Amino acid sequence: MKAFYTDHYVLPLPPGHRFPMEKYSQLRDLVTKLVGIDLLEAPAATDTQILYVHDPSYLVKVISGNLSPKEQQEIGFPWSELMVERSRRSAGATVAAAKAALNEGLAANLAGGTHHAYRNRGSGFCVFNDSAIAARVLQKEIHPKLKVAIVDLDVHQGNGTASILQNDPSIFTLSIHGENNFPFTKEQSDLDIGLPNGCEDSDYLSALNQGLEMLNRFKPDFIIYLAGADPHEGDRLGKLSISKDGIRQRDEYVFQYGLDHQIPIAFSMAGGYGKEIQSTVAIHFQTVQTALRFQQQFS
């Protein structure tokens, strides 16, 4: 199974910054030890690919370093050339994983899940919307009539994704998230399932079953899956109470759905802000291990 990484592009963040940048290199260190994983450096998304989704004036501002202080504050990262390159590579990793999954059933982006980025602005540690970009790349560069489902199981609603794709009937957006969590103004996905604070495994998995049943009506040809670690009970920002085993079952539900219907899946790690960074890394690693088991079953 191919897994694409971007962790050698490390943002120059100020001391005490909330974003757990080091989780990515720690994850790759663990993944390196797995038999059956082909680790590959992520390519950069091209301007053309980014412009399938984002406004040209926004792309120019990002590349040229002309984001205003307010725009940088909304993104949550200070502008730097490394920020631009890492953002390109993070989107490129999901694009590369999507192309690989078409041939192999499953493939991973060991970062990504930048679902708060809107067409014309970044937000919530997200500069370019990798899932929307990858979906459009598949349609514009490989299969024009491909129907794509974006299954977003980060604890925060995929507001940017919902906004960008709200008038696109060829891409189905599903978001299962904490109702009382960021973003506090939600957008409208094709299917939103908002969960109460403290939601536990059984209700979470029931919601996921409901969401996957809705996919049967859409009949996707491809799935982009945001496998957030932040629904975990140990997450600082999550507000839900999903056990590590519950997250393993969640991943199994999604990968089993793909296997049963022979739908390729590209997945990204998305959010994770554990009180202990090791707990977040362990959950992401569990997702990769789970995917590896399923990838070997795809015909």
- The per-residue pLDDT for range 78-104, each reduced to its tens digit, is 999 999 999 999 999 999 999 999 999
- Alpha carbon dihedral 238, 243, 247, 252, in 10-degree steps, equals -160
pLDDT score recorded for residue 19 = 75
pLDDT score recorded for residue 184 = 86
**What's the whole-model pTM score?**
0.95
How sure is the predictor about 16, in pLDDT bands with cuts at 50, 70 and 90?
low
Map tokens 């504050």 to a residue.
73
Is pLDDT of 31 > 80?
yes
For 123, what's the count of Cα atoms within 13 Å in the CB-facing half-sphere?
Answer: 18
Q: Are 102 and 151 spatial neighbours (Cβ–Cβ below 8 Å)? A: no
- The per-residue pLDDT for range 118-133, each reduced to its tens digit, is 999 999 999 999 999 9
The SS3 call for residue 123 is strand
**Kind of pairing between the strands at 191-195 and 222-226:** unpaired
Q: Are 111 and 169 spatial neighbours (Cβ–Cβ below 8 Å)? A: no
| DSSP H helices in 155-239 | 159-165, 201-218
Is pLDDT of 29 > 80?
yes
